[in-house]
Amino acid sequence: MPEQNHYQLLRRIESPADLRALDAEDLPSLAAELRRYLVETISETGGHLAPGLGTVELTVALHYLFDTPKDRLVWDIGHQAYPHKILTGRRDAMGSIRKYGGLSGFLKRSESEYDVFGAGHSSTSISAALGMAVAAARQGVERDVVAIIGDGALTAGMALEALNNAGDVDANLLVILNDNEMSISPNVGALSNYLARILSGRTYTSVREGSKTVLGTLPPVKNLARRWEEHLKGMVMPSTLFEELGFYYIGPINGHDLPTLLSTLGNLKAMKGPRFLHVITQKGKGFEPAEGDPCVYHGVSPFDPNTGKIEKKSASKTYTSVFGDWLCDMAERDQRLVGITPAMREGSGLVAFSKRFPERYFDVGIAEQHAMTFAAGLACEGLKPVVAIYSTFLQRAYDQLIHDVAIQELDVTLAIDRAGLVGADGPTHAGAFDHTYLRCIPGMVVMAPASESECRDMLYTAFEHAGPTAVRYPRGSGPGILPGEEMNLVPIGKGEIVRRGTQIALLSWGNLLEAALCAADELDATVANMRFVKPIDEQLVAKLAARHDLLVTIEENVVAGGAGSAVNEYLAAAGIATRVVNLGLPDRFVSHGSQAELLSECGLDPEGIVRAVRRVEPAKLARIL
């Protein structure tokens, strides 16, 4: 951890109350220390860096002016909230961020009273803040509620729905748009900042509100005044969209200019009703490597804080890269293929595809629902869309998957990344439920590859299958069985026995096959790579049940309704009486840590599988072992 003595102001901040005790003239120095501390800390731990560097001044200004935690600051996800964590009593714990038992990389209500709303998925802040503002009004509580949302998150339908509702109910809510996708252009300079202060000031506001009353009896004059104001603001503001939604719009202003931030936020704080402040920031601000490549330093491994040189990652080929290679190869073969991602080009492995096939690549923004129905429309016209999406984000498009794809039996392939436990990102990003929520959809084919090579073959099988299909694969790499250039069709609904044993059969889905094989060596168990979550291989299940005394199903998905449940349902329907133990993720949200640590915690490593078998009641255990 950084040496505290190097931070004369920051080391005195144990809570925002300490921050508010400083003179305003000290805040730029505090911001500089905070930015340096963030770089030094994340250089050791890894984590989200560039977004937080862009919100340093904004975070300082918000906690300085607002009485947090009484006043509510609702951050949209946690990427931009690392400075918030540092200023709210967690400075010395930052070395544990995203580690097992340490601080969450996102907002978490159970972690701090200052994290007033937990969030790992984007675009929730305005809805949550609106709920808090309405609740305060209903309860007669005087408090300010502020939602801070990024420009990317504002593209989501949920954010626009919340804006529409907030203006309609005339809520006492301040929305701050942290816009870091554009450079600070000439109109975000002295003139713009001056006009922002004027337009948000008490004198202008009182004249504006008073003139509405006075001029209300003179429609032509009132109309002229309104048009003059819109003309004035139109010179320095991007649009009147937010005013049309019922918000009082101010901006854009320089989000790194603390005096302007303090003045404008102070004026807006004194106002009531729906207000919208547009702030321009630079992602990676103050750290040259992150400024030059904010995408790389968005979520970064440990690095040298002086040079920015990032520690080399494992050279192992990941499932994500296997998908990216397959997508390009398949696109060469079939001109009908189009690739779709909801704002996850890098994370989902579509960078090469987007460059090689730009006319067939569609990044629809943070709009998972739209991505799914857009794919359905493409499929209606004979194209073959492949939707690359994280398991946790597919949850957002569930109705569209059922209503727009599955019911119409459309030919859409889902490449589902980050299935199972995802490590440091924790429960908000874990793909813990897709076996369950996909298996119950009629007509779906759901595959879980046990290796990188099998992943490529399954993607090919899914693409060639006429109808909705899904291939779900984990974060990172597998056993290292790399695919060749050839693609082979996997027989739909067929598993395979990969090890023969005696009285115990381990039925494994996906990346846990390696753990099952290790456990089988100690248990002398048969191991089946089941491959398909839906349809399961009923013939193989029946054969295993007939030849073994105990079946153990193993999956990196919740037990409830998962692939193991499919085995139970089949055995019950077929009237086959045999002992079954279902292993999977527990009926709780699993926290963050390394994937190995979390699998061990859940009993899904080899030792955990062996322990589960040996917990079978003694009479049964004696006969089996």
Residues with active-site annotation: 283, 368, 396
- Whether omega for the bond prior to residue 238 falls within 30 degrees of 0, making it cis, is no
Tokens 């349902």 locate to 569
Beta strand extents in 159-256 (DSSP E only):
174-179, 248-254
The beta-carbon contacts of 137-142 under 8 Å, at least 24 apart in sequence, are 137/171, 137/172
Q: How far apart are CA 602 and CA 512, in angstroms?
A: 12
Q: 445 pairs with which residues across the strands?
A: 469
Neighbouring CB atoms inside 10 A of 144's CB total 21
SS3 (DSSP) at 203: helix
Q: Tell me the two tokens of residue 241.
A: 């969209």
Neighbours of 296 (CB within 10 A): 18
Count of other CB atoms within 10 angstroms of residue 243: 17
Residue 176's SS3 state is: strand
In sequence order, the 6+-apart residues with CB closer than 8 A to the CB of 102 are 93, 95, 96, 592
| Tokens 């929305």, residue located | 175
CA nearest neighbour of 512 among 453, 557, 559, 566: 557
478: helix, strand or coil: coil
Number of other CB atoms surrounding residue 288 within 10 Å:
10
Contact present, 455 and 473 (Cβ < 8 Å): yes
User: How far apart (Å, rounded) are the C-alpha atoms in residues 29 and 31?
Assistant: 5
Q: Report the relative pairing of strands 526-529 and 504-508 from DSSP bridges.
A: parallel
Distant-in-sequence, close-in-space partners of 367: CB < 8 Å, separation ≥ 6: 155, 156, 157, 342, 343
Q: What interhelical angle do 202-214 and 258-270 show, nearest 10?
A: 40
As a whole number of angstroms, the distance between CA 497 and CA 105 comes to 40
Give strand ranges (E) for 391-490: 413-417, 445-447, 469-472
576, two tokens: 């086959």
**Alpha-carbon separation of residue 453 from 319, 420, 477, 490 (angstroms):** 9, 19, 11, 12
Of 4, 7, 48, 1, which Cα lies nearest the Cα of 31? 7
DSSP string, 107-162: B-TTT-TT--S-BSSSS-HHHHHHHHHHHHHHHT----EEEEEETTGGGSHHHHHH
Q: How many C-beta atoms lie closer than 10 Å to residue 555's C-beta? A: 28
Among residues 199, 184, 192, 197, the alpha carbon closest in space to that of 280 is found at 184
Q: Any idea how long the chain is? A: 625
Report the distance separating Cα 536 and Cα 83, nearest Å: 48
Please name every residue paired with 417 in a beta bridge, in sequence order, or none if there are none. Answer: 390
Rounded distance, CA 356 to CA 345, Å?
13
Cα 487 from Cα 505, distance rounded (Å)? 30
